[in-house]
Amino acid sequence: MSGIAAARSPSQSAGNPWNEDAARGIVQEHRNLDGAMLPILHALNDHFGYVDAGAVPIIADELNLSRAEVHGVISFYHDFRKEPAGRHVVKVCRAEACQSMDGRKLEEHIRQRLKTEFGATSPDHVYTLDAVYCLGLCACSPAIMVDGELHARVSPARFDQIMADVAGGKR
């Protein structure tokens, strides 16, 4: 799966309610591919917005793997969610270049503004906040991604404007 597809947020490409029959269909559709587990997990994540725990035994059975092996892959890769994300996904770069340009100050502002911590979803299920360790905008740091759209040279004030645009449906 390409990096672009992996960067899509659930608000852009998923949100279907968990359905075991649909999950089985997705697994069966991809099970004969070389290295089938990752394409299966990406397809489930894209379709539902996360990989439900109910998918683990289905994948394990279809690929003749243990449930522990499947769970290990899901928990290793941060792009696979174990529960639905919020309506908007905010990814904040925490790499060295962004840190050197007041990234920690921006992180604190974002956590307070969204009322959530990294790796969590706001209580109102509107925002999910994720830490990433490079968005490829090192020369223009600090950088964030909101619903798959990159933003460079983000200050707390610029973040507030981006989020006002998101809330107003402009992004």
Domains of the chain: 3-76 (no CATH), 88-167 (3.40.30.10)
The 8-class DSSP code of residue 17 comes to P
Nearest-10 crossing angle of helices 20-30, 37-48: 140
Q: State the pairing for strand pair 144-146/88-93.
A: antiparallel
Comparing C-alpha atoms, which of 55, 78, 76 is closest to residue 67?
55
Q: Tokens standing for 43?
A: 């397809």
- Whole-angstrom Cα Rg for the chain: 17
Find out whether 130 and 170 touch, Cβ atoms under 8 Å: no
- Give strand pairing partners of 144: 92, 151
Provide φ and ψ at 105, rounded to 5°: -60, -45
Find out whether 86 and 126 touch, Cβ atoms under 8 Å: yes
Find out whether 52 and 23 touch, Cβ atoms under 8 Å: yes
Give how far the C-alpha of residue 49 lies from the chain's centroid of Cα atoms, to the nearest Å. Answer: 9
Comparing C-alpha atoms, which of 119, 84, 108 is closest to residue 156?
108
pLDDT in tens, the chain (171 residues): 333 333 433 344 456 889 999 999 999 999 999 999 999 999 999 899 899 999 999 999 999 999 999 999 999 988 898 888 999 999 999 999 999 999 999 999 999 999 999 999 999 999 999 999 999 999 999 999 999 999 999 999 999 999 999 988 776
